[in-house]
Chains A and B, each alone.
Chain A
């Protein structure tokens, strides 16, 4: 919901600091490159996380193009659905430009034809930070936390639903194309926290959410894990409770008046 033009400039500018965004990411153990990508565009009130499929060519590049595309031009809130073929035109064309080259070795030429694929989760909030909307393909997940409770899990609700074959957006023509995004939305209130998590972490969170009694305070968990993300990831991988995979967490917090006064 955009703010009316009549408001003083200062107040309009002030809404941007209503929302705080923090990111943490950790590569898969044993791999040099982290194929999770994320992007933030504060003016557009948008963040995105894309998780590149491990088998693919220039996967990180593709994931980053998707995340960048989402935050650069987020789908309109009132759009009933987005044609994925149209939406993918820009990032696909960009990917092609960036990887094409006549001097590529034979395996890179083949790789280019094979292309890359990634999941995508984009989040947009209204300028007055009272509403959020999320757009998803695949198993990168959004969790909304209110007063420490996990109130939304999107697009996956069940830890058992994660598998090796999530929906993916491809850099080239696709035998089984995804037709559109899954969409969810909600109210964004003071103190609310929205978490974007790539699949290994999302599965961990849903599993813990189901198995922990009394229920975990997810707001406290978020604060703790932000302080020492790498240790958390390493510890849980050692315990076998977190799959060894690129792991990304983006924390979007709707500030309260208290936290605004403090800052």
Chain B
């Protein structure tokens, strides 16, 4: 059965985020003062933090069940790895190395007054255009190399977060290339999450392009992977309508939806493996 490969230290799973860092990401979420770029960086850092904690087995051991990559594009230079600090420039990093090397930590106080340190690996960055095509092409090369090194691993999970249209051409071929990267356990899953700075109707996990607000949304839908059975099962647990044509796609998402899509996506490898 596909999407059931064991996740272990000798056979980690791959979580890969592709993040739009174009100038429009400095706009804020609807009815909020939080820029899209800041919100996304927070979600990426929270995701890595959650994965680290899940992999922390003892006082001294963080087990490398995952390898994580974050690719940023649109900040001015060519698309490139988005880790800061000592991990700057690294394409794919094991979870234990991430645990030991946050770029910095910030003090956070919760509503009960409890202070904790939140680790930061990725900083919010905004730049110029949206070279989505170049970014997805680079992502497909990185993922191809990864699957050659891990031929029987759980297929890579790729989360592409963007607020706008590509400025370097139609990226659908590059998206197809990512979706065709595969291991013996199945093809990479590409989730596309579109964020909006305007209040607009949200779409989550649709099974058809009809009803989508514009051609850009239809294109992103087409670029997204149809969800395999284990993911459809998970969506049912979230009480979402699901069919064989349901895709990993969200449009006009806010941070809650972004977090949810990543949460659902990253649960896949752990259901049969880590959680037994």
Measuring CB to CB, which residues of chain A are less than 8 angstroms from any residue of chain B? 30-31, 33, 53-61, 99, 101, 104-111, 114, 164, 243-245
**Set of chain A residues within 8 Å of B59, measured between Cβ atoms:** 58, 99, 101, 104, 108
Q: Is the CB of B119 within 8 A of A106?
A: yes
Contact A57 B57 (CB under 8 A): yes
Which 6 A/B pairs are nearest by Cβ-Cβ distance? A30-B8, A111-B56, A107-B56, A110-B53, A107-B99, A108-B59
B54 touches A55 (CB 8 A): yes
Encoded as 1 (CB less than 8 Å from any A CB) or 0, chain B from 1 to 21 comes to 000001011110000000000
Query: Once the chains are docked, how many angstroms separate the CA of A33 from the CA of B270?
Result: 18
Q: How many residues of B contact A (CB 8 A)?
A: 29
Judge if B274 is at the interface, Cβ distance under 8 Å: yes
Interface centre among A58, A59, A61, A243 (most CB of B within 10 A): A58
Encode B89-119 as 1/0 by CB contact (under 8 A) with A.
Answer: 0000000000110100100000000001101
Chain A nearest CB from B100 CB (Å) reads: 8
Chain A contacts for B60, CB-based, 8 A: 108
Cβ contact within 8 Å between A108 and B275: no
- State in angstroms the CA–CA spacing of A245 and B117 once bound together: 34
A sample of 16 inter-chain contacts (CB < 8 A) reads A30-B9, A30-B10, A31-B8, A54-B275, A55-B54, A55-B274, A55-B275, A58-B58, A99-B59, A101-B59, A105-B99, A110-B56, A114-B53, A164-B276, A243-B276, A245-B276
Could you say which of B49, B57, B116, B117 contacts A33, with CB atoms under 8 Å apart? Answer: B57
Chain B residues in 8 Å Cβ range of A114: 53
In whole Å, how far is B30's beta carbon from the nearest beta carbon of chain A?
Answer: 32
Residues of B with C-beta under 8 A to A59 = 57
Which residues of B in the span 241-276 have a Cβ within 8 Å of any Cβ on A?
270-276
Interface membership of B37, Cβ < 8 A = no
Considering the complex, give the chain B residue whose CB is closest to the CB of A166: B276
Nearest-neighbour CB distance to chain B for A32, whole angstroms, equals: 8
- B99 contact set on A, CB distance < 8 A: 105, 107
Write the nearest CB–CB distance from A39 to chain B, whole angstroms.
Answer: 20
Residues of chain B within 8 A of A30, CB atoms compared: 6, 8-11
Expressed in whole angstroms, the Cα–Cα distance for A101 and B271 within the complex equals 31
Cα A252 to Cα B57 with chains together (Å): 32
Chain B residues near A108 (CB-CB < 8 A): 56, 58-60
Which single member of A31, A104, A107 contacts B53 (CB below 8 Å)? A107
Closest partner residue, chain B, to A199 (CB atom): B276
Taking CB atoms and an 8 Å cut-off, the chain B residues in 179-195 that contact chain A are: none
- Bound-complex Cα distance A104 to B271 (A): 29
Chain B residue numbers with a CB within 8 Å of A101 are: 59
Bound: A88/B122 CA distance, A:
41
The CA-CA distance from A105 to B62 in the complex, in Å, is: 11
